[in-house]
């Protein structure tokens, strides 16, 4: 439930205009919500006045995802967000072949324990099964829509990756369109004319480990294509250690060494900024012999 007190600059506009254009609700959000003006349920075409009290009550939807108790590594939680440090070897969403023991199953159980409601887990960002780190779950449709509204919220995503080879340049940007050919899960460089999507990745070398012939990278995503970091680094000749899909089939470790270590959310209206961190996981630290 969201509450708003109307200020004088919004006097005499409609409820719908205020909620969509000013606050950031989507049409879908409002279709699944009841709206009350000064205690009375109203339609979106109703006009508002200064000092009016507006309430948006989202209609609660249950989920058929099976709740399973898990030891979730919770980074942050409030009424709108649940931020987790995702471990390796864990699928985020149930699939046709895997309906339980996914992160979504654990989140649903957590929601039931904390609020008594079997709420839909809305994942804002997605991580591959073997990618670790910060993953954000929104607790309501409004928070999900707000984070997806680039005019309201700026989101920055940073990863750490261990790649095969010593990279000479300290910093560079990869801009190569990628896409999928047919039903193949593997993505590849593909021209826009042939269905590829624009993809942009910034890379900074943190440290070179010459004795192991690997580099530790900080990677920032500017677009969010499937497997983007894995594809881009492989195309540049530096596949991620452990990534048998985009690197050699034989690997020294049992997963790709890619970790979502920071996600920053900035509300452009209020300038409020939240930063969420997840430290480098133990297997990546052990591989590099760092504490």
Dump the DSSP string for 235-287.
Answer: HTT-PBTT-TTTS-SS-SSSS--EEEEEEEEEETTTTEEEEEE-PPPHHHHHH
- Residues 115 and 134: their CA atoms lie apart, in Å, by 23
Q: What is the pLDDT of residues 245-285, one digit of tens each?
A: 999 999 999 999 999 999 999 988 888 999 999 999 999 99
Residue 67 lies in a domain: no
Residue 182 has pLDDT above 80, yes or no: yes
Q: What is the pLDDT of residues 206-220, one digit of tens each?
A: 999 999 999 999 999
Residues 158 and 233 in one domain: yes
Domain hosting 118: range is 74-148
Cβ-contact 224, 252 below 8 angstroms: no
Note the pLDDT of residue 142: 83
CATH code: domain of residue 33: 3.10.290
Note the pLDDT of residue 120: 84
Both tokens of 95, joined, read 């699939």
Residue 263 lies in a domain: yes
Residue with the two structure tokens 């990546």: 284
CATH code: domain of residue 144: 3.30.2350.10
- CB atoms under 10 Å from CB of 202, counted, come to 15
Residue 116 has pLDDT above 80, yes or no: no
- Residues 203 and 212: their CA atoms lie apart, in Å, by 20
Q: How many domains does the chain have?
A: 3
* Catalytic site positions: 128
Chosen domain end from 132, 148, 164 = 148
Query: What is the reported pTM?
Result: 0.86
């Amino acid at each position: 439930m969201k509450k708003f007190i109307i200020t004088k600059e919004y006097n005499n506009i409609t409820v719908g205009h205020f909620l969509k254009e000013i606050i950031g609700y989507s049409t879908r959000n409002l279709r699944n919500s009841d709206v009350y003006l000064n205690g009375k349920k109203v339609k979106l075409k109703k006009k508002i006045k200064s000092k009016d009290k507006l309430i948006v009550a989202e209609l609660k939807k249950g989920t058929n995802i099976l709740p399973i108790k898990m030891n979730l590594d919770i980074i942050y939680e409030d009424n709108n967000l649940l931020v987790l440090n995702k471990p390796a070897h864990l699928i985020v969403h149930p699939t046709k072949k895997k309906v339980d023991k996914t992160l979504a199953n654990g989140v649903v159980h957590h929601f039931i324990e904390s609020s008594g409601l079997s709420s839909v887990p809305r994942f804002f960002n997605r991580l591959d099964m073997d990618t670790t780190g910060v993953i954000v779950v929104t607790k309501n449709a409004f928070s999900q829509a707000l984070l997806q509204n680039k005019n309201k919220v700026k989101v920055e995503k940073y990863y750490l990756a261990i790649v095969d080879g010593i990279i000479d340049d300290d910093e560079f940007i990869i801009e190569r369109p990628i896409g999928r050919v047919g039903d193949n899960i593997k993505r590849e460089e593909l021209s826009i004319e042939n269905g590829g999507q624009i993809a942009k990745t910034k890379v900074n070398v943190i440290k070179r480990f010459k004795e192991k012939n690997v580099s530790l990278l900080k990677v920032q995503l500017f677009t969010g294509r499937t497997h983007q970091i894995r594809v881009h680094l492989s195309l540049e000749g530096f596949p991620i250690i452990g990534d048998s899909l985009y690197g050699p089939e034989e690997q020294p470790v049992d997963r790709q060494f890619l970790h979502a270590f920071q996600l920053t959310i900035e509300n452009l209206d209020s300038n409020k900024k939240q930063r969420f961190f997840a430290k480098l996981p133990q297997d990546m630290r052990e591989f590099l012999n760092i504490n």
